[in-house]
């Protein structure tokens, strides 16, 4: 991982409008994500999550308001320039894979951001190892199964060594091994002090891996806090209004009157604590 | 009703077989779940069970596929269409692409079979009613949500009045709302006595609707038995299958060596 | 469709000015008003015909051979009255033809056309291809947009020099093609599993509305069109030419 420190990401009163005002994908949204934060973005389809993250690398520009990356207005930078700081992994790997081999696919992004020779090789090897595709470097991407192609897409952005990593539904359609790899990526990112923002509808994954959860609906931020805060029983009505279910651990904890227990670990700790009394 | 006898299947041009000596039976009215990590053979098994492999997909099959006791090998794919319906994970690619309304989309199968017009209409109406999607009948299929499209795809299969439904990870690409919609519809079909073979990563869904579960590993059957037993089997983790959330929670409680009383409280709360 | 073809053929056959003008009014504007598409028809037809119309008119206006009566002189180029007359005739014809085609396009739903063809015996698979091709376009456009976004997020420069943008085509075209091919496999499986390959005709749910009157009208139109062309060729109706 690079020694570059992650830039602060800031949205200031960002509104994004489609179709001459008919659709307000983002409605006066303000959000700050500090360097090294690991944030989950949850909400139903159409809540604005995808629109929001596309502002972070310039694919979308605000209709009004500002987007600041590292204190600098993103408006003055092209997408290709912002891609050096913010790596965005799309949900569907088949809408980006084009190379004949896994290695070439992973090299693409790294080459674009200016990595050469030794640095390039190290970045590519590292990315392949992290997602478990090191032994498939020469394989044709379409000879891999769907889950591994998704990991390939992830690797191709990891090799760019961006200090900010944005993931769109990283665990959807993944099996246990694949989810394990994604957790490994998060672990490495935390260790390197990189910022991670992930869109996900896997509530258990969100509760266990992320220190901060932002709930979106109708183009606005509805809640923002730790998993314990967001998944506390007082927040369930809000969650359910966006068609999300709190994690099982939270529901069980509530049934047992143990307060907010968003994860298995928290639930067991609370039980043990209750037993000790 | 459906039986695979020692089926080994290799895709065209593949070095290794994707299914190795797999035997599986499914009786009428049974709902059987298929679990296993990616590339363990779940999709291949679904393709073989529906007849698409080797007919449409190519490849070589050894062993037999029996439908109601008869060898299915001489049957062409369009002959199997009215007897086995198969749905896949991607909701959009299952749409015919030529229907402007959900009604026509569902009628597509019966129309292809050349059934009398009244028959086609009756079957389409029945399928809409069974899945409770009458309200979607005049909508354009391409503009529905993923969950809705999956329900339309399944309705399209029901209109063929198949003996068996094969579902290959139907909720894999859906958001929680869509998954819930499909899961509820499948539960109702199961209650109504449908015969279903369903492959899924989400073992919680399998726990909800399946009577039996088969776990695949590397193209062979690794575990098989009543759903509750198989999904609580400690070997699942080694087989790279995630047990349902409640099973994992109970197991974690045991591992954490909580006092028995607390474990009882937990079990009680999880079960409800 | 019969109307459009007949109109186009007749427009070419008729000489002079009056003929085509009558044609435009009767065969194009009339039905358009009846179908309620007159506005779009006029807009689209003018838009489509503009390039050809402008060049045809200008060429004939200024360079009509044998033009005597001078209207306007710009340097060495002369606009003649005869040229103007001929130019207007050409214009009327162009409008008649493009108007007829536009009318057809505006009043026919591709789905209906395909169902009609299938009723008349066109094979189900040909009909399917025709129909599915139309529905594919918006999907392809949307897919291309997604692919472009994903590649730009990996640093593909779409805002740089022309050469860079050309190089950047492969990462956009390749996934579009590969993805389409992969999708075709899935689509084929779904279609076949729903009995698409069954030999023999399939049941059609509904007929596009057609009445005896419409069928008669089609025959009359065809007969009339042939008659006019023959009459012109034989020189029987000089006032139309």
Q: Could you read off the pLDDT of A90-133 as tens digits, one per residue?
A: 998 988 888 889 999 999 999 999 998 899 999 999 999 999 99
Chains in contact with C, counting 3 or more C-beta pairs less than 8 Å apart as contact:
A, B
What sign has the CA pseudo-torsion B143, B149, B153, B158?
Answer: negative
Inter-chain CB proximity B112 and C189 less than 8 Å? no
Provide the pLDDT for residue B253: 82
Strand partners for B4: B24, B65
List pLDDT tens digits, range C37-83: 667 777 777 777 788 778 877 777 777 776 666 777 777 777 777 77
Q: Is C203 inside any structural domain?
A: no
List the domain boundaries for chain B.
Answer: 2-232, 242-272
pLDDT value at B46 more than 60? yes
pLDDT more than 90, % of chain A: 72
The pLDDT value recorded for residue A1 is: 45
List phi, psi (to 5°) of B63: 100, -175
Residues of C in contact with A157 (CB under 8 A): 153-154
Are A267 and A228 a contacting pair, CB within 8 Å?
no
The residue assigned the tokens 């502002």 is A55
pLDDT surpassing 80 at residue B43 = yes
As a whole number, mean pLDDT of residues B132-143 equals 91
| Arithmetic mean of pLDDT, B244-249 | 88
- Is there a single domain that holds both residue C157 and residue C230? no
Helix, strand or coil for residue C70? strand
Q: What is the mean pLDDT of residues B29-51?
A: 94
Which of the four pLDDT bands, split at 50, 70 and 90, describes residue C31? Answer: low
Contact A165, A196 (CB under 8 A): yes
Average pLDDT estimate for B40-55? 93
Q: Scanning every residue of chain A, which has its alpha carbon at the shortest distance from the alpha carbon of B37?
A: A175
Q: What topology is assigned to B2-232 in CATH?
A: Rossmann fold (3.40.50)
Is the per-residue pLDDT at C22 higher than 70? no
Contact call for residues A92 and C149 (beta carbons, < 8 A) = no
pLDDT tens digits, one per residue of A142-192: 888 888 999 999 999 999 999 999 999 999 988 889 999 999 999 999 999
Asked if residue A19 has pLDDT above 80, the reply is: no
Band of pLDDT at residue C210, cut at 50, 70 and 90: low
Q: Is A156 exposed, middle or buried (0-12, 13-18, 19+ CB in 10 A)?
A: buried
Same domain, yes or no: C44 and C70: yes
Mean pLDDT score of chain A: 91
Residue C130 in any domain: the answer is: yes
Whole-number pLDDT of residue A33: 96
CB-based contacts of A218-227 (< 8 A; 24+ apart in sequence):
A218/A27, A218/A47, A218/A48, A219/A16, A219/A24, A219/A25, A219/A26, A219/A27, A219/A29, A219/A47, A219/A48, A219/A51, A220/A27, A220/A28, A220/A29, A220/A48, A221/A29, A221/A30, A221/A31, A222/A43, A224/A31, A227/A262, A227/A263
Query: Which residue has tokens 């993931």?
Result: A167
> Cβ–Cβ of C182/A95 closer than 8 Å?
no
pLDDT at B6 over 60: yes
Average pLDDT of the residues in C6-19:
55
Whether residue C91 is found in the same domain as residue C131: no
Question: Do the domain assignments include residue C153?
Answer: yes
Across the range B35-39, mean pLDDT stands at 91
pTM of this prediction? 0.82
Same domain, C14 and C103: yes
C9 pLDDT exceeds 70? no
For residues C150 and C97, membership in a common domain is answered with no
Coil vs helix vs strand at A40? strand
pLDDT (0 to 100) of residue A199 = 96
Q: Which of the residue ranges B79-83, B226-230, C235-239 would you say has the lowest mean pLDDT?
A: C235-239
Nearest to B269 among A245, A256, A264 (CB): A256
Average pLDDT over chain C, rounded to an integer? 74
Between C178 and B35, the more confident residue is B35
Q: Do both C183 and C153 map to the same domain? A: yes
Q: Looking only at Cα atoms, what is the longest distance across chain C?
A: 74
| Domain annotation covers residue C199 | no
Are C47 and C159 found together in one domain?
no
The per-residue pLDDT of chain B, averaged, comes to 91
CB pairs under 8 A between A and B: 80
More confident residue, C22 or A276: A276
Q: Give the total number of structural domains in chain C.
A: 2
CB contact under 8 A, A268 and B258: yes
Residues C32, B71: Cα–Cα separation, whole Å: 61
Chain A residues inside the 8 Å CB shell of C182: 94, 142
Confidence of residue C19 (pLDDT cuts 50, 70, 90): low
Distances (CA, A) of C152 to A57, B131, B161, C155, C168: 9, 42, 47, 5, 10
For residue B164, give the 3-state DSSP assignment: strand
C-alpha distance from residue C85 to each of C78, C190, C193, C238 (Å): 14, 61, 63, 17
pLDDT higher than threshold 60 for residue C15: no
Together in a domain, C100 and C15? yes
CB contact under 8 A, A177 and B258: no
Is the CB of C153 less than 8 angstroms away from the CB of A97? no
Asked if A151 reaches chain B (Cβ–Cβ under 8 Å), the answer is no
Q: Cα separation of A163 and A160, whole Å? A: 9
In-domain check, residue C126: yes
Selected residues 140-159 of chain C with any CB under 8 Å from a CB in chain A = 143, 146-147, 149-159
| Interface ipTM > 0.85 | yes
Q: Containing domain of residue C165, as a range?
A: 122-192
Q: Is C72 within a domain?
A: yes
Mean pLDDT across B218-245? 93
Sign of the torsion angle spanned by Cα atoms B181, B182, B187, B192: positive
In a domain, C178, yes or no: yes
């Amino acid at each position: 991982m690079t020694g570059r420190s992650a830039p602060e990401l800031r949205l200031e009163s960002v509104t994004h409008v489609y179709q001459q005002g008919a659709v307000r994908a983002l409605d006066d949204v303000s959000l700050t994500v500090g360097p090294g934060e690991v944030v989950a973005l949850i909400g139903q389809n159409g809540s604005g999550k995808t629109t929001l993250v596309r502002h972070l690398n310039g694919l979308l520009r605000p209709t009004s308001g500002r987007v600041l990356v590292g204190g600098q207005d993103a408006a003055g930078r092209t997408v290709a320039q912002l891609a050096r700081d913010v790596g965005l992994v799309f949900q569907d790997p088949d809408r980006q894979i084009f190379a004949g081999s896994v290695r070439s696919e992973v090299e693409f992004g790294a080459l674009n951001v200016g990595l050469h020779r030794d640095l390039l090789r190290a970045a590519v090897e590292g990315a392949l190892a992290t997602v478990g595709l090191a032994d498939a470097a020469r394989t044709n991407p379409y000879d891999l199964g769907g889950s591994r192609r998704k990991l390939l897409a992830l690797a191709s952005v990891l090799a760019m060594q961006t200090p900010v990593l944005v993931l769109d539904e990283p665990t959807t359609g993944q099996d246990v091994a694949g989810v394990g790899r994604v957790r490994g990526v998060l672990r490495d990112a935390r260790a390197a002090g990189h910022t991670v923002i992930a869109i996900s509808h896997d509530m258990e994954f969100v509760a266990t891996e992320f220190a901060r959860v932002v709930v979106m609906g109708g183009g606005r931020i509805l809640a923002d806090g730790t998993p314990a805060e967001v998944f506390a029983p007082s927040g369930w009505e809000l969650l359910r209004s966006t068609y999300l279910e709190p994690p099982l651990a939270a529901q069980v904890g509530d049934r047992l009157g143990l307060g907010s227990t968003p994860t298995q670990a928290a639930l067991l700790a609370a039980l043990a604590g209750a037993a000790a009394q | 009703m459906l039986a695979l006898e020692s089926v080994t299947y290799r895709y065209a041009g593949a070095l290794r077989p994707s299914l190795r000596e797999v035997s599986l039976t499914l009786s009428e009215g049974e709902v059987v779940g298929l679990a296993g990590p990616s590339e363990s053979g779940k999709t291949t098994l679904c393709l073989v069970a529906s007849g698409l492999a080797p007919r449409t997909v190519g490849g070589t099959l050894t062993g037999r596929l029996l439908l109601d006791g008869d060898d299915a090998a001489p049957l062409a794919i369009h002959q199997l269409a009215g007897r086995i319906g198969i749905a896949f994970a991607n909701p959009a690619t299952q749409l015919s692409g030529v229907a402007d309304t959900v009604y026509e989309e569902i009628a597509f199968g019966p129309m292809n079979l050349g059934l009398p017009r009244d028959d086609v209409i009756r079957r389409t109406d029945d399928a809409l009613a069974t899945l409770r999607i009458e309200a979607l009948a005049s909508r354009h299929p391409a503009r529905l949500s993923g969950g809705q499209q999956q329900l339309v795809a399944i309705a399209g299969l029901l209109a063929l009045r198949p003996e068996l439904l094969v579902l290959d990870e139907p909720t894999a690409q859906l958001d929680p709302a869509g998954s819930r919609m499909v899961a509820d519809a499948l539960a109702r079909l199961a209650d109504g006595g449908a015969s279903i073979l369903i492959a899924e990563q989400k073992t919680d869904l399998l726990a909800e609707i399946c009577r039996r579960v088969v776990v695949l590993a590397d193209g062979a059957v690794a575990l098989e038995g009543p759903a509750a037993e198989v999904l609580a089997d400690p070997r699942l983790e080694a087989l790279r299958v995630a047990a349902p959330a409640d099973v994992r929670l109970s197991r974690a409680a045991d591992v954490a060596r909580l006092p028995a009383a607390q474990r009882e409280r937990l079990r009680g709360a999880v079960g409800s | 469709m019969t109307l459009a073809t007949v109109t186009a053929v007749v427009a070419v056959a008729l000489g002079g000015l009056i003929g085509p003008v009558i044609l435009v009014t009767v065969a194009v504007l009339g039905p358009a008003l009846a179908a309620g598409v007159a506005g779009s028809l006029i807009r689209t037809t003018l838009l489509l015909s503009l390039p050809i119309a402008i060049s045809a008119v200008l060429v004939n206006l200024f360079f009509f051979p044998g033009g005597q009566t001078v209207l306007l002189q710009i340097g060495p180029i002369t606009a003649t009255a005869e040229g103007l007359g001929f130019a207007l005739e050409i214009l009327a014809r162009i409008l008649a033809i493009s108007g007829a085609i536009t009318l057809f396009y505006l009043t026919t739903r591709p789905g209906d056309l395909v169902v009609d063809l299938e009723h008349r015996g066109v094979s189900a698979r040909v009909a399917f291809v025709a129909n599915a091709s139309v529905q594919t376009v918006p999907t392809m456009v949307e897919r291309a947009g997604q692919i472009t976004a994903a590649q730009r997020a990996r640093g593909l420069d779409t805002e740089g020099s022309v050469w860079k943008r050309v190089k950047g085509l492969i990462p956009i075209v390749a996934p579009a093609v590969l993805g389409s091919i992969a999708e075709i496999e899935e689509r084929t499986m779904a279609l076949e599993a729903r009995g698409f390959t069954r030999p023999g005709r399939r049941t059609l749910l509904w007929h596009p509305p057609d009445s005896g009157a419409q069928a008669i009208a089609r025959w009359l139109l065809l007969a009339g069109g042939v008659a006019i062309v023959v009459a012109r060729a034989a020189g029987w109706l000089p006032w139309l030419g």
